[in-house]
Structure 1
Amino acid sequence: MVQQSYSCQYIPTDTQQVGLPLIHGKELSHIFMAKQEVVAVNQVDFGIQENKITAIIGESGSGKSTLLKLIYGLLEPNNGEVRYKGWLVPTRKDKLIPGHDAMKLVSQGFDDLNLYAKVWDNVASQLPNTNLSRKESKTRETLERLKIDHLAQQRVADLSGGEKQRVAIARALINEPEVLLMDEPFNQVDAAFRDALQQDIKHIVEETGLTIILVSHDPTEVLAMADELIVMKNAKIVEQGSPQQLYYTPKHSYTAQLLAKSNILSREQASVLGITASAPIGIHQEDIIFQQKIDGNYQVTDIRFRGFYKEVVMSNGNGLTLHAIMHPVSDMIIGSKLDITIAKYIQFIQ
């Protein structure tokens, strides 16, 4: 990827630390001062690799967006540090216009877009007029890359949410940043078009070597897109790893619920299933095998349509309720008796 030269570039005054990931956070904390202190990020450590897509996920209020702004330099840490290529990320106290020169942030709500200007002008305006030929070719190339070249002469105000998001990303990418930060980028994109946008972004990463960090309120929508997940809860990072690793072998019950809507059972509940455990366990819905049986120990209490599958809620009548996946064309009904088998389960650290 061609390195971009940046005007008014921040000149680091600290010493570069070598051997770190592209972006490295150490003992990072941020506290918002309101009527009472709100700890938004609490003593977190993390590493983000170059040329990868990293998604920060977690429930509302977990600290995801605050962590994103700390990485960019929009917020100043109360404790700890963020380093980019081994150098401290500058914050508001270091530069007049906050935000790292090698990074671009696409915020929620399309705040940066001029809604009453054309798509072309929104994107082209990010380049200077010193080389008009390059400005035109670069704008066209960027619109084509985001598959919105056919919208060039339309007003942004007349576009759908997904199209506006593509324009916002194009504005951020036209100056070839090394890192693209996105806060809830699929929030206003129709579900039917999210997958196409996600795969286009993934292709851009493969093509350009861009590093992307995004925040998502819906963890399941980034499973097929992200190379790495950072899971946050109550201002802390619970765990970090690949989507496959965190889906199949999470260390914490919170991660299992977040990614797989897993059944979380106490040691006592696990013993009912014949499982001896020293800590709570998780059973993914797809790992419960069941069949109808007149004298079965479980009874179907609810059947929920989920599109390409149905979710079956079953109970043993003694307080143990399980959720499992059923083929959508099954003729099972509420009240059916079941025998169940657990194919596998997860033993949590906590």
Structure 2
Amino acid sequence: MANDILSTSCDVKISDKQKQGLAYIQVDNLVKKFSDKPDSLGLEGLSFGIEKGKVTAIIGESGSGKSTLLRLIYGLQSPDTGEIRLNGWKVPGPEDKLIPGHESMRLVSQHFDDLNTYANVWENVASRLSNTNLQEKHDKTAIALNSLGILRLAKQRVVDLSGGEKQRVAIARALVTGPEVLLMDEPFNQVDASFRDHLQQDIRRIVHEMGITVIMVSHDPAEVLAMADALLILKEGKLQASGTPFEIYNIPPNAYSASLLARSNLLNAKEARFLLPDVRVNNTIVIHPEWIRAEHATNGAFIVVDVFFKGFFEEVLLEHTHLQLRVINYAIATYHVGERVDVSILRYVDC
């Protein structure tokens, strides 16, 4: 007789038929509170799915619950209600295991807590493997170090490395055992901007080559827009948006998501009617700076109040009475403080 549900003392796997409707990592009605107070920080009713072999980024302001969600997915904490499943199996919490943390996952913290700073790079990575087969241990360690471009640092002590190099060691240490899921908490927080792109490229390459699933937490949209396949946006423990970076950036479901991904112009109905007199507006209007064109005009409605040089473009701040707009200009030194301009709106999103 076929069993619809298979169970052990602390883990439950659903049937293959039930599994067909689930994502690789499925989160349903997740709630986690840290006190009984109404304003307690935590997570409230989160439901979403994460695809296998993709990079998913969890972003939001400080205190939004990003790191808490990551720890719940890994099994370091248990939800108050709701559940998390990996490939159909319920993720056990710390009350179910002597050593918390899912055996198919590895977590890289932002403070390198897992590293032995006075051991060398090779020892830090190799120590994750058993001594049953020394040749295999040697080969796997070399492959892990080489995949992160740090094989040349094998004999250096971790304490003597830069922040970016330590981050690479931490990731190599996590990958050497061949996990299915790699969790990263603010992975670029201590990496210099000049090395950030290279590390992002290496992680994308590893995802492609190994088929590993990556879930990362970040507060910086610049880190994830080009790197992530999917975004989860949190605010005060609630899910504000989920989808691809392209979808959420170009069609933000709410003003918070828009402002988190870009220095977007958020206009109320009155302000929007001034710019778009022929459009009926009842909600917040989102206009990214690059969706506006400014044109020199002697009697223009807006005045240039500031210009910020950004390298290959400049950000121009315009003002009309109490309405301010940020505009991206790719022709450097075109606008000057005090001159007047008119604007045209190329795109907008009514949230």
The equivalent of 2:4 in structure 1 is none
What is the DSSP-based 3-state SS (H/G/I as helix, E as strand, rest coil) of the residue aligned with 2:184? Answer: strand
The equivalent of 1:4 in structure 2 is none
What are the residue-to-residue correspondences of 1:157-176 with 2, within 5 Å? 157-176=159-178
The equivalent of 2:158 in structure 1 is 156
Provide, for residues 286-333 of structure 1, a one-character-per-residue CA deviation record: whole Å limited to 9, x for no partner: 01101111111100011122232211110112x111011123622421
What is the DSSP-based 3-state SS (H/G/I as helix, E as strand, rest coil) of the residue aligned with 2:179? Answer: coil
Structure 2 residue 281 is matched with structure 1 residue 277:
yes
Cα drift, residue 36 of structure 1: 8.2
Inter-partner Cα distance in structure 1 for 2:349 and 2:95:
46
Q: Name stretches of at least 5 consecutive residues in structure 2 with no aligned partner.
A: 1-7
The equivalent of 1:112 in structure 2 is 114
Structure 2 residue 254 is matched with structure 1 residue 252:
yes
Structure 1 pair 95/49, CA: closer, same or farther in 2 (3 Å)? Answer: same
Answer yes or no: is the 8 Å Cα contact 2:31–2:46 preserved in 1. Answer: yes
Structure 2 residue 348 is matched with structure 1 residue 345:
yes
What are the residue-to-residue correspondences of 1:1-350 with 2, within 5 Å? 13-16=11-14, 17-19=18-20, 20-33=22-35, 38-273=40-275, 274=277, 275-317=279-321, 319-327=322-330, 329-348=332-351
What is the DSSP-based 3-state SS (H/G/I as helix, E as strand, rest coil) of the residue aligned with 2:34? Answer: strand
Answer yes or no: is the 8 Å Cα contact 1:31–1:37 preserved in 2. Answer: no
Percent identity between matched residues is 51
- Could you tell which deviates more after superposition, 31-40 or 21-30? 31-40
What is the TM-score normalised by the length of structure 2?
A: 0.93
Cα drift, residue 35 of structure 1: 8.4
Which residue identity lines up with residue 316 of structure 1 in the other structure? H
Runs of 4+ in 1 over 6 A off after TM superposition: 34-37
The equivalent of 2:5 in structure 1 is none
Inter-partner Cα distance in structure 2 for 1:164 and 1:124:
15
Which residue identity lines up with residue 337 of structure 2 in the other structure? I
Inter-partner Cα distance in structure 2 for 1:116 and 1:39:
37
Inter-partner Cα distance in structure 1 for 2:313 and 2:62:
27
Provide, for residues 32-69 of structure 1, a one-character-per-residue CA deviation record: whole Å limited to 9, x for no partner: 13988723111110100000000000111101000011
Which residue identity lines up with residue 58 of structure 2 in the other structure? I
Structure 1 pair 329/15, CA: closer, same or farther in 2 (3 Å)? Answer: closer
Cα drift, residue 277 of structure 1: 1.1
Which residue identity lines up with residue 343 of structure 1 in the other structure? L
Inter-partner Cα distance in structure 1 for 2:318 and 2:106:
48
What is the DSSP-based 3-state SS (H/G/I as helix, E as strand, rest coil) of the residue aligned with 1:110? Answer: coil
Inter-partner Cα distance in structure 1 for 2:156 and 2:215:
29
Inter-partner Cα distance in structure 2 for 1:215 and 1:307:
28
Provide, for residues 244-284 of structure 1, a one-character-per-residue CA deviation record: whole Å limited to 9, x for no partner: 00010111111111112110001111000124212111001
Which residue identity lines up with residue 18 of structure 1 in the other structure? K
Provide, for residues 67-107 of structure 1, a one-character-per-residue CA deviation record: whole Å limited to 9, x for no partner: 01110111110111111111110001100000111000001
Inter-partner Cα distance in structure 2 for 1:205 and 1:105:
15
What is the DSSP-based 3-state SS (H/G/I as helix, E as strand, rest coil) of the residue aligned with 1:237? Answer: strand
Provide, for residues 207-231 of structure 1, a one-character-per-residue CA deviation record: whole Å limited to 9, x for no partner: 0100000000101211110000000
Inter-partner Cα distance in structure 1 for 2:139 and 2:9:
31
Answer yes or no: is the 8 Å Cα contact 2:316–2:335 preserved in 1. Answer: no
Answer yes or no: is the 8 Å Cα contact 2:312–2:332 preserved in 1. Answer: no
Inter-partner Cα distance in structure 2 for 1:303 and 1:166:
38
Inter-partner Cα distance in structure 2 for 1:136 and 1:267:
64
Inter-partner Cα distance in structure 2 for 1:185 and 1:218:
11
Inter-partner Cα distance in structure 2 for 1:95 and 1:279:
49
What is the DSSP-based 3-state SS (H/G/I as helix, E as strand, rest coil) of the residue aligned with 2:41? Answer: strand
Which residue identity lines up with residue 348 of structure 2 in the other structure? Y
Inter-partner Cα distance in structure 1 for 2:203 and 2:310:
27
What is the DSSP-based 3-state SS (H/G/I as helix, E as strand, rest coil) of the residue aligned with 1:182? Answer: strand
What is the TM-score normalised by the length of structure 1?
A: 0.94
What is the DSSP-based 3-state SS (H/G/I as helix, E as strand, rest coil) of the residue aligned with 1:109? Answer: coil
Structure 1 pair 239/114, CA: closer, same or farther in 2 (3 Å)? Answer: same
Q: Name stretches of at least 5 consecutive residues in structure 1 with no aligned partner.
A: 1-9
